[in-house]
Structure 1
Amino acid sequence: MLPVVALITCLINAIVISGSPPIVLWHGMGDSCCNPLSLGSLIKFIKTQLPDSYILSLRIGSNIVEDTSNGFFMNANHQIDYACKLLNADTNLSQGYHAIGFSQGGQFLRAVAQRCPSPPMLNLISVGGQHQGVFGFPRCPGDNETICNYIRDLLHLGAYESFVQNHLVQAEYWHDPHKENTYRQASIFLADINQERTFNEAYKTNLLKIRNLILVKFLRDGMVTPSESEHFGFYEENNTTKIIPLRESSLYLKDLLGLKTMDEQSRIKFLESDTDHLQFTDQWFIDNIIPYLKD
């Protein structure tokens, strides 16, 4: 029989372990891991709802300035590799974690789920992530207008040129419905994780390991074009007036990522917020997101 002190210690440890799983955040374009006006504030808010939670907000770079810059100019594949190393090095995540990606952080964390299954991702929550890419760049986040104007010029001049693909993040998920063949051949990130270049069985196997895929679409989105990309929808080829929803897409019908399987198992959740991009109330977050973070 265990001594009383040892027994009490075991019970305390069990209570700590039984708390809510760790949470990993990945910010969007023009933001950083710890901006007090965005993710920094959100971390504090989550703590009010889940006070015992461990939260890691991914910083891609040695400081916040690098983190922000890398969201524009660091090859997305290199960012995924960097993030995977951070996750593997954090012993707090070894038993699994919930992931929340904001805007481009949504598809980046999906790539993490597909490429880096250890430590295990539990629920993947994509808040405004562009999973079928974008074909438009209507508004710039924060105080980054000069950078955004430069990016717009590069995208329209040669999004699929090798140099642009390797050095401009937004080009790596630029999806031109009038150049589908070029997109599939040249896109070094999105076309790869969406199985549009070659089929990678591990991508499907690994994504199927997560519990749920929660997709948040903003109904008044003025930044993502088309906003249906946030639910895996996209334009019909050569037609920017018609959207092909996820369940009618070849990605779904061929089950290239396991999305059809997950959907049939009720493991894909299609959520909406009747607001602009990444704009949501505390109550909306409590009602719609917090439940997926509790266990």
Structure 2
Amino acid sequence: MTSDPGVVLIVDDAPENLAMLHEALDAAGYRVLVATDGQSALDRVALLMPDLILLDAMMPGIDGFETCRRLKTDPLTAHIPVVFMTGLTETGHILAGFQAGGVDYLTKPLNPPEVLVRIVAHVRNARQMASARDAVDAAGHAMLSVDSAGCVRWQSPASREWLRGYLSTDGRLPPVAMAWLDARGPDPLSVVVDGRRLSLSRLASDGSGITLLVRKRASVPEPEALTGVCGLTSREAEVLYWVACGKINRDVGEILGMSPRTVDKHLQHVFEKLNVETRTAAASLVMDGTLFSRAFV
């Protein structure tokens, strides 16, 4: 069975260009959408997400450069590859297209066979990227990319769900995450969002932004909830809480105002009472709720 070539949106205010491209793409099996200006293009995308956009650079109203910038600043549409069509061959205009977020450009007059070859390549690459993001989500993680200012460029579906309420109203990472990125702090960064602990890890940087992997863990019960469970004292519960949060003895000591040696003594008592031998095993009991079921056995 032949795979679906995809949906292409053509944005051009010249009827002859629209007719020529529509005919060529339709013959190649693509579903074709058309728009004659930037605002109409944005409205079309809001109704049906295309696999690729062929975008005229110079149009009345919102020009192609601004249209592309608006698409790329919206995490829902930032992943769509944009190929500029332009009669402007000056280096400055070509650079403006790439700086706005375009992946390629075609010089007018257009050559339909060349247009089709480039569309095939860019749609294939975009689908491969989408498959990779979906695979990460299916594995119980998520991905997102942010620019140098911390604004989200794109997000996988799981990332969009998990980080709801965590990003600012303009789609930026919170200050603690930006400080971590700027200082290249220890990887991963661990934060709590809506009672859930998230860890952010750097995956890659392309010069203009950073791709992050997001892992989500169950919330850690507060020390008060752990106190008395399986005979734990309040101090032992505090130590166990911070160990479950991933802290080493030195960090726990600094937080609780005790020496690492004292932390270790409390931890040994915790191990005995929980009948475990390692901090990992103890933390696992806390995270999966087994510790509380033990308390009622």
Q: Shorter-normalised TM-score: what interval?
A: under 0.3
> Quick check: which has more Rg, 1 or 2?
2
* Greater RCO (CA < 8 Å, at least 6 residues apart): 1
